[in-house]
Amino acid sequence: MNNSYDIVIIGAGYAGLVCARVAAQRGLKVLVIEKKAEAGIQLHTTGIIVKEAADELHIPKEFTRKVHGVRLYAPGMKRFDLDSPGYYFLAADTRGLLRWLAEQAAGAGAELVFGQAFDGARREGDEIVLDKPSIRARYLVGADGARSQVARCFGLGVNTRMLVGVETEFEGVEGVEQDRLNCFLDSNLAPGYIGWAVPGVGVTQVGLAGRLGEKPSTEALIEKLRDVYDFSNARVVERRSGPIPVGGMVRPFAAERVLLVGDAAGLVSPLTAGGIHPAFRYGRRAAQVISDHLLDNGPDPGLVLAREYPRYRWKALLRRSLDRDPPNWFYDWTLGLPPMRAFAQLVYFHRKGLKTRAGWRDLLRWRR
Ligand SMILES: Cc1cc2nc3c(=O)[nH]c(=O)nc-3n(C[C@H](O)[C@H](O)[C@H](O)COP(=O)(O)OP(=O)(O)OC[C@H]3O[C@@H](n4cnc5c(N)ncnc54)[C@H](O)[C@@H]3O)c2cc1C
């Protein structure tokens, strides 16, 4: 390992690896430092990739399977199917995908160091200096997740509002609809969020999220799901959990020669808790604007991205209403009504979910 780099990126997750690949492709000397022993282990995500992200990053087919719709269950288990022609989600083999992203970054020329935790750095003149390993960098990127050490080290904003997600990956669960994300509304089991059963790549991923401090129980969800799925031959492959920032972008997210991306920057939808698409998108943008700055005297990356990072205003507003835990009877009562269905279409498929005028009108039609 040389000790002088254009960019040092902390974290080999989605944001860090995409950033590393693009920065190396642009001719920068890049180092990624990751505390885990290798890419794609100790996962903490379900890994659903929305179509918009799949359109931006061409992921080899072997790591994903398409899922075309959503089956949304009310707390009383009445179900509703939601679709949007042409739209799909990708369930992913996240281990394989992260390993592939690491290979892509290395193939583009980035150096990756695994098994090394970042634990501090300082600014010295025009450089950022790390002691362990002994490194000098012209720019430091914090892609180190929801509890970013880089943010703390440089006095940047940190995530305060979080959900906690827990998930069990199974083989051998029977009866799960294979072409839909199966989602379960239940304010008792998943306060502030939902539960899910995702037909993954060769596995079924069953999980739920709720507010931090009220760790949700996968066992309780599975107990409820025994009415609809057969777990008698199910074998647990892996269990995982992790925090999900839902408070929106942290402030400040950048300082001189230091920038946060992905979960570290709070780039997660406060409503859907999806962070993979923003990690891809802004990982790439961070690499582009930093290379413009370092190679071509371009503007300050922090200022450029301050105009581009999403504000999530209406999603943050809706997050506040979910935080009030609408009672289960409310979901049971309203889910069949056109406005709720239209709203659910909007949440899962964005504007494409309400393609027709009738779809938009449904948002205001409070009669069945
Ligand atoms: C249970 C759960 C389910 C989820 N499901 C989905 C989903 O289906 N779809 C979706 O879009 N989003 C989902 N999310 C959110 C999504 O996983 C994150 O938004 C996404 O992983 C963010 O990517 P990232 O690269 O910013 O951070 P991370 O994926 O967290 O990667 C950060 C990396 O930094 C490393 N790191 C941390 N600290 C240090 C340090 N000090 N030194 C060196 N390395 C360090 C970590 O080991 C990690 O590899 C889910 C989250 C959870 C918890």
Lowest mean pLDDT among 90-104, 202-216, 316-330, 340-354: 340-354
Report CA(120)–ligand 1 centroid distance (Å). Answer: 20
The segment with the largest mean pLDDT, out of 173-187, 303-317, 340-354, is 173-187
- pLDDT grade, residue 361 (50/70/90)? low
Lowest mean pLDDT among 17-26, 79-88, 132-141, 341-350: 341-350
Q: Whose C-alpha lies nearest to ligand 1, atom 39?
A: 144
Residue with tokens 């997740």: 145
Q: Looking at the 3D structure of the chain, how many domains does it have?
A: 3
CA distances from 166 to 89, 124, 169, 196 (A): 20, 41, 10, 10
Report CA(279)–ligand 1 centroid distance (Å). Answer: 9
Task: Give the per-residue pLDDT at 342.
Answer: 87
Domain presence at residue 85 = no
Domain presence at residue 121 = yes
CB–CB of 71/177 below 8 Å?
Answer: yes
Q: Pocket around ligand 1: residues whose beta carbon is below 6 Å from it?
A: 10-16, 33-36, 44-48, 117-118, 143-145, 149, 165, 167, 207, 242, 244, 262-263, 268, 273-277, 279
pLDDT exceeds cutoff 80 at 356: no
Task: Give the per-residue pLDDT at 194.
Answer: 93
Q: Distance of alpha carbon 346 from its chain centroid, rounded?
A: 19
In this structure, the strands spanning 69-73 and 121-124 are unpaired
56 lies in the same domain as 109:
yes
Task: Give the per-residue pLDDT at 285.
Answer: 98
Task: Give the per-residue pLDDT at 320.
Answer: 82
Please give the structure tokens belonging to residue 76.
Answer: 């009383």
Pocket-testing residue among 46, 208, 259, 282, ligand 1, by greatest number of atoms within 8 A of Cβ: 46
225 lies in the same domain as 294:
no
Q: What is the identity of the amino acid at 153? A: C
225 lies in the same domain as 235:
yes
Query: Which atom of ligand 1 sits closest to the CA of residue 209?
Result: 1
Q: Which domain holds residue 367?
A: 336-368
pLDDT exceeds cutoff 60 at 302: yes
Closest CA to 26 of 11, 12, 6: 6
CATH number of the domain bearing residue 234: 3.30.9.10
Report CA(53)–ligand 1 centroid distance (Å). Answer: 16
DSSP letter for 58, please. Answer: -
CB–CB of 56/327 below 8 Å?
Answer: no
40 lies in the same domain as 152:
yes
CB–CB of 17/96 below 8 Å?
Answer: no
Task: Give the per-residue pLDDT at 313.
Answer: 86
Reported as a single tens digit per residue, the pLDDT across 234-251 is 999 999 999 999 999 999
Closest CA to 268 of 163, 154, 345, 184: 163
CB–CB of 295/34 below 8 Å?
Answer: no
Give residues with Cβ within 8 angstroms of 183, minimum separation 6. 70, 71, 72, 73, 194, 195, 196
CB–CB of 62/99 below 8 Å?
Answer: no
